[in-house]
Amino acid sequence: MSSQVEIDLINRDPNVLNNHVQVMFDDVLAEPEGAHSVECVWRNSFKCFSCGRNLCYKILTFIFGLPIALFWGCLFAVVSFSEIWCITPQMRCLHVTLYSVKKILSIVLSSVFGPIMETYGLVFSRIHITQSQGEAPKPLGSLPGNPPRTGVRSFKN
């Protein structure tokens, strides 16, 4: 069973994985207004940049492209193998095994903490915060009937 996969030799990045790597001449070199070099220098520097980038890329891919592609192909084969044959069955086994533990824990937690959390909800639902334009509230120590706090406590024997 041999299925031949056709690759697109024109559009080599159909999923736009490496758009951030597209570095053009004007992304790297730019002359502001008032600081222009001679036209032949600017034109030839563009050609040198483009030729150097393309030639260097082609040499590097020629030397290292096949071994790196083989490495990544093997690595993703190992990842796929472990995911299909090891991790997914283990996760399914854990899911089946721990389902009853999850149910029991859910019942226990809702029966123990449910009433407590409901009480907290009722208490905190009665708190109302309002914003007023009047004078600022006074500290608790300055209210009538409360002695001012001095920071020193006296204990009676």
141, 149 in Cβ contact below 8 A? yes
- 42-77 pLDDT per residue, tens: 999 999 999 999 999 999 999 999 999 999 999 999
Closest CA to 45 of 59, 57, 29: 29
The residue with greater pLDDT, 71 or 25, is 71
Residue that is written with structure tokens 């009853």 in the block: 100
Question: Per-residue pLDDT for 146 more than 70?
Answer: no
Question: Per-residue pLDDT for 6 more than 80?
Answer: yes
d(CA 14, CA 6): 13
Residue 92 is encoded by which pair of tokens? 């399914």
148, 142 in Cβ contact below 8 A? yes
pLDDT band, very low/low/confident/very high, at 156 (cuts 50, 70, 90)? low
Q: Which of 10-14, 62-66, 112-116, 153-157 has the lowest mean pLDDT?
A: 153-157
Question: Per-residue pLDDT for 152 more than 80?
Answer: no
What pLDDT is recorded for position 29? 86
Domain parsing of the chain, residue ranges: 36-125
What pLDDT is recorded for position 44? 94
- 73-132 pLDDT per residue, tens: 999 999 999 999 999 999 999 999 999 999 999 999 999 999 999 999 999 998 878 777
The pTM assigned to this predicted structure is: 0.53
What pLDDT is recorded for position 71? 98
What pLDDT is recorded for position 140? 64
133, 126 in Cβ contact below 8 A? no
